[in-house]
Amino acid sequence: MTEFVMPTLGSDMTQGTLVEWKKKAGDRVTKGEIIAEVDTEKSAIEIESFYTGVIHQLITKPGETVPVGTVMAIIQEEGKPVGPGEAGTEATPVKESSPSPVREPVVSPPPKPGRLRISPAAKQLAAELRVDPSALKGTGPGGAIALEDVRAAAETPTKEPPTVSADRQARMRETIAAAMARSKREIPHYYLSATIDMGRAMTWLKEENLKRPVTDRLLYGVLLIKAVALALRQVPELNALWKESAAVQSPDIHVGVAVSLRQGGLVAPAIHHTDKQTLGELMMRFQDVVKRARAGTLRSSEFSDPTITVTSLGEQGVETVFGVIYPPQVALVGFGKVVERPWVVEGQVVSRPVVTASLSADHRVTDGHRGGVFLSTVDRLLQEPGEL
Amino acid sequence: MNTPDEISQTVLRLLSEIAPEADVTVLNPDVSFRDQLDIDSMDFLNFVIMIHKTFGVEIPETDYPKYGTLNGCVEQLSGKRASGSPSPAN
């Protein structure tokens, strides 16, 4: 049996509240499939299963708030044998809730460990009717769950999931405050910036969009995101997470894109394998995560997987971003507004659209030289937009 | 053919889907949406896509500025609706 725990979706997440299970005991689940919706300080998040198998037991109840690492469910993983004495066979009773939580829940403590008293017939009926027996109160001898209890539960309309707390905005502010304070306290930032000629990129984009139907057009932001992702291949030290006392480079490049939320605050969900997406694919994924970020339907992996963050404040008129790194990441790239500036081309002063790219990086991991190489690589890539 | 008022109502409905927190009924029809609403380039692109799908009109990127105000949208869409395209009342 495998324990499914409340995942950590960023260093600033300490706990989560289960809104609802998307699966029932007995359901098959595949790795990456949505298994639950959890409310965090930042947003409601769809939690993906880390395993493929059959859900043996749902432990956490809707409305319960549990710390990161708490066992929320038990999954019988595909290909893994059922251990001796473990439930899942007809002869062995199902375990009761909370077999071995990593930490105690904050709000509602789990029931005491022990065996669930249920008759074999009731257990079989519960499986047929997709009723979670651990959620039932038995009326049989000694409190055992009887057939009638299962039938009654199956006929009872499902209760509405508890409403999500209305003070999310305040909690999001607190969460951002905690993460940013930690970042400034623990990470020795250094900052670099470079002004990049966007003339070729903007001209290429204009011509490219002429060929595309309105539904497939690109925003210049995706060129910036792709250029960052490709530059990270050249300077992989910046594509890393700080763990314990050292940086660990990520084999994959998952750029987190900062998205401001309409009700205030921001999130930075990952666009997975950013460097491997075509610009068209990247645009679709960018649109999708922005839409879902604002609708509160991001997935757990999108919160937990970013290996670097890109933020653009150009639309607010900002020319230069001095970003604060989101721990445990070790770098953040900022872009300002594309502005027309005098620019020298082959000895002539001409007007060119330029953007200021900035890098905030962790000095424990990289030095300014490598940061400079990174920014110059971004610049070089943006001069060949057709190759992105 | 839709009347200017019908077009205006449809455009406002689409805008309210883009920026659900905004009261679009108080918009100045001659002032840019982006100056009155908290929308970014992604929102505006989505708005243009919705206009395209709802009114069945092609909108080249060079025409985007013409759709930047309510009156601009009405002017562009009056008499422009493609035949057989979805009804803006939907």
Q: What is the pLDDT of residues A5-31, one digit of tens each?
A: 888 877 667 788 888 899 998 999 988
Are the beta carbons of A378 and A196 closer than 8 angstroms? yes
Over residues A241-293, the pLDDT tens digits come to: 999 899 999 999 999 999 998 878 889 999 999 999 999 999 999 999 999 99
Residues above pLDDT 70, as percent of chain A:
85
Q: Quick one: CA dihedral A269, A271, A272, A273, positive or negative?
A: negative
Token duo for residue A102: 């990593």
State yes or no: pLDDT of A156 exceeds 60: yes
Range from A20-29, A85-94, A328-337 that averages highest in pLDDT: A328-337
Please report the domains of chain A, with CATH numbers, ordered by start residue.
Answer: 2-88+95-100 (2.40.50.100), 103-161 (4.10.320.10), 169-387 (3.30.559.10)
Strand A44-48, strand A34-39: pairing: antiparallel
Q: If chain B, 90 residues long, is cut into consecutive pieces of 10 residues, what is the mean pLDDT of each piece?
A: 87 91 89 89 94 93 93 88 45
Q: How far is A193 from chain B (nearest CA, A)?
A: 24
* A164/A169: higher pLDDT: A169
Query: pLDDT value at position A182?
Result: 93
What would the mean pLDDT of A165-182 be, rounded to a whole number? 81
B59: nearest CB among A214, A286, A287: A214
Query: pLDDT value at position A166?
Result: 54
3-class state of residue B5 by DSSP: helix
Q: Do B20 and A217 touch (CB under 8 A)?
A: no
CA distances from A85 to A71, A73, A115 (A): 19, 18, 11
Distance CA B2, CA B13 (A): 15
Distance CA A186, CA A327 (A): 9
B48: nearest CB among A206, A214, A286: A214
CA triplet A235, A238, A240: central angle to 5 degrees?
Answer: 125
Q: How far is B56 from chain A (nearest CA, A)?
A: 11
Q: Do A287 and B60 touch (CB under 8 A)?
A: no
Q: Do A219 and B58 touch (CB under 8 A)?
A: no
Question: Is B35 an interface residue toward A (CB < 8 Å)?
Answer: no
Whether the predicted interface score ipTM is above 0.85: no
3-class state of residue A310 by DSSP: strand
What would the mean pLDDT of A28-45 be, rounded to a whole number? 84
Q: Find the residue in A nearest to B56 (Cα).
A: A214
Q: Find the residue in A nearest to B19 (Cα).
A: A262
What would the mean pLDDT of A347-360 be, rounded to a whole number? 96
In a mutational test of the B interface, the residue from A204, A209, A212, A214 whose CB has the highest number of chain B CBs within 10 Å is A214
State yes or no: pLDDT of A210 exceeds 60: yes
Omega prior to A328 cis, within 30 of 0: yes
Distance CA A388, CA B11 (A): 36
Q: Do B42 and A215 touch (CB under 8 A)?
A: no
Query: pLDDT value at position A82?
Result: 62
Q: Of B3, B11, B23, which is closest to residue B51 (Cα–Cα)?
A: B11
Q: Do B58 and A214 touch (CB under 8 A)?
A: yes
Question: Is B1 an interface residue toward A (CB < 8 Å)?
Answer: no
Q: Find the residue in B nearest to A290 (Cα).
A: B42
Question: Is B23 an interface residue toward A (CB < 8 Å)?
Answer: no
State yes or no: pLDDT of A113 exceeds 50: no
3-class state of residue A122 by DSSP: helix
Query: pLDDT value at position A365?
Result: 97
Range from A43-57, A64-78, A191-205 that averages highest in pLDDT: A191-205
Q: Find the residue in A nearest to B37 (Cα).
A: A262
Question: Is B59 an interface residue toward A (CB < 8 Å)?
Answer: yes
Distance CA A1, CA A146 (A): 26
Interchain CB contacts (distance < 8 Å): A and B: 31
Q: What is the mean pLDDT of chain A?
A: 84
Q: Which residues pair with A352 in a beta bridge?
A: A341
Please name the residue ranges forming H helices in chain A.
Answer: 120-128, 147-155, 168-186, 199-211, 220-234, 279-295, 300-304, 368-382
Residue whose token pair is 């110059």: A376
- DSSP string computed for A74-100: EEEETTSPPPTT-SSSTTSPPB-S-SS
Q: How far is B31 from chain A (nearest CA, A)?
A: 18
State yes or no: pLDDT of A162 exceeds 60: no
Strand A2-5, strand A34-39: pairing: unpaired
What would the mean pLDDT of A142-153 be, rounded to a whole number? 75
Model's pTM, two decimal places? 0.74
Q: How far is B43 from chain A (nearest CA, A)?
A: 9
Distance CA A290, CA A91 (A): 50
Q: Do B41 and A219 touch (CB under 8 A)?
A: yes
Over residues A294-320, the pLDDT tens digits come to: 888 899 999 999 999 999 999 889 999
Distance CA A383, CA A194 (A): 14
**Helix, strand counts (H, E) of chain A:** 8, 20
Question: Is B9 an interface residue toward A (CB < 8 Å)?
Answer: no
